[in-house]
Amino acid sequence: MAPLPNISFSKSALPTKGSVVVFSGSESGLSEWAEKVDQATGKALSRAIKAADFKGKFASALEVLAPGGSQLDRVVIVGTGDGAELSENGWPRLGGAASGKSGGSTSALTVLLDRPDGEAISAEEAADFALGIKLRSYNFDKYKSGKGAPKKPKPRARKVTIGVDGHLKARNAWESAEAVADGAVLARDLVNEPANSLGTEEFTKQARALSKLGVKVDVLSEAQMKKLGMNALLSVGDGSVRPSKLVIMHWKGGKARQKPIAFVGKGVVFDTGGISIKPAGGMEDMKGDMGGAAAVTGLMHALAGRKAKVNAIGVIGLVENMPDGNATRPGDVVTSMSGQTIEVINTDAEGRLVLADALWYTRDKFKPEIVVDLATLTGACIVALGHHHAGLFSNDDELSERLSTAGQATGELVWRLPLGKDYDKLVDSKVADMKNTGGRWGGAITAAQFLKRFVEDTPWAHLDVAGTAMGSPSTEINRSWASGFGVRLLNRLVADNYEK
């Protein structure tokens, strides 16, 4: 894959070569540095703005190639609008827009970061701008051989220099923001990998690599899970030659006696549907059915990378759902770790079986302050919310509100959906304590009601990321099939509420 850019911060200075990004407002008024570049290029920017009728709308961009009177390759003018969208989430989007319009060239890129309204840019805003550049630069082309095309030199990482007042503070802020960006990139890589390259063992290896950052990683084998009674999780992998795993990641950045916060991810590395096999059309996308586990792994990378002052646990259940003679059948009854029995009505409702045991294990062993689980759980959630919001279900209003606030701040949006006794009745079974589907209607809700039975009174939230972890719309900061959704959202949740 093409290397991601090397980003640094410095005092603003007019470059003499390479590419330059400058800014304009909603009325096409140029910022202070844009004015200087305009003067240095013989008013090339002003003429281009007039010729293109450029209005400076937020995140819009105008490219001026090889402006006269200079040795610059290009100047990119990025619109900031009237400032209303320059919220915290606006800065990554501006960074992504600047990166996307400045081309894939390996020539040096200089960003002269200021605002047309003259207001100061904080170190955190500058770091968020850089985060947008890095995330937009991501491109998963690992498996493109290039054969048949003219041979090209091996790409080098592009050098990006951001000139901004207070560059030393911005550089310090970027150390933390870059760790978050790297966590999102890791999550994208995991989801984008084809299933023949990323099975349960390969995913486990990726999680173990976090030990380099100070994360302690434990792995439970099938025999260990069997001894613990985790038959719901194990039943999903019965038809696969790949062994099921439970991976536990520990980050201890808080005080010794501080209760941990916990994150649990569904990690179905490929989902055929099992005996209740899926239709062939679109089944290839089921390599991404481990998007929840990918987000948890990326989050743990982010927390450790920025040395978050919190004790956090990441638990991921890794399985593959395949049909063979050993596979779980519709109508089978399995006993979960909690002792509750489950009638398996549909083997394609497998993610909740994985989470049932993973949630109970996490609640029982670590007694966390909160638990948040993430799962590409239901198509019903996509029907309800499309690809712009993740479904949020919770037994705790405060946790729910905190997640919603973090979503607004990061642009990784969530929308709360209901839980209730009437929905809970739909997962009651005549032959067991519960069944793993509640029927056609309200499918995302009944899936959440099922999970709620495995957390008891622990403050808990479930995020159904089926529509946001993969195949979500392109944005200023992502052009990849896999979005890495959840890493920035949960990192913000932790930073705002749980670091002590």
Query: Could you tell me whether strands 414-416 and 333-335 are parallel, antiparallel, or unpaired per DSSP bridges?
Result: unpaired
Pairing between β-strand 341-343 and β-strand 333-335 as defined by DSSP bridges: antiparallel
Whether residue 352 lies in the annotated active site: yes
**Catalytic residue (choose from 266, 352, 453, 492):** 352
3-state SS class at 72: strand
Task: Extract the tokens encoding 335.
Answer: 């006993």
DSSP state of 496: H
Give DSSP secondary structure letters for 226-288: HHHT-HHHHHHTTT-SSPPEEEEEEEE-S-TTPPPEEEEEEEEEEE--TTSPPPSTTGGGGGG
Helix axes 123-136, 90-101, angle to 10 degrees: 50
| Residue 162 near residue 113, CB atoms below 8 Å | yes
Interhelix angle 167-192/291-305, nearest 10 degrees? 150
Q: How many Cβ atoms are within 10 Å of 411's Cβ, its own excluded?
A: 17
CA angle 315, 320, 325 (to 5 degrees): 140
* Number of neighbouring beta carbons within 10 Å of residue 438: 23
By the 10 Å C-beta count (0-12 exposed, 13-18 middle, 19+ buried), 85 is classed as middle
Catalytic residue among 55, 169, 278, 416: 278
Q: Which strands make up the sheet holding 109-112, listed edge to edge? A: 6-10, 159-163, 109-112, 17-24, 71-79, 61-65
Are the C-beta atoms of residues 369 and 363 closer than 8 Å to each other? no
How do the residues of the chain divide into helix, strand and coil, expressed in percent and rounded to 5?
35, 20, 45
Cα distances from 370 to residues 184, 376, 457, in angstroms, run 22, 20, 10
- How far is 200 from 202, CA to CA, in rounded Å? 6
Q: Are 374 and 486 in contact (CB under 8 A)?
A: yes
117: which residues sit within 8 A by CB, 6+ positions away?
25, 83
The C-alpha angle with vertex 28 and arms to 108 and 98, in degrees rounded to 5, equals: 25
Closest CA to 369 of 283, 248, 449, 458: 458
Sheet containing 434-435, strands listed edge to edge, beginning at the edge strand earlier in sequence: 333-335, 341-343, 434-435
Q: Is 11 a catalytic residue?
A: no
Structure token digits, residue 196: 């023949």
CA 25 to chain centre: 31
Q: Which residues are catalytic?
A: 278, 352
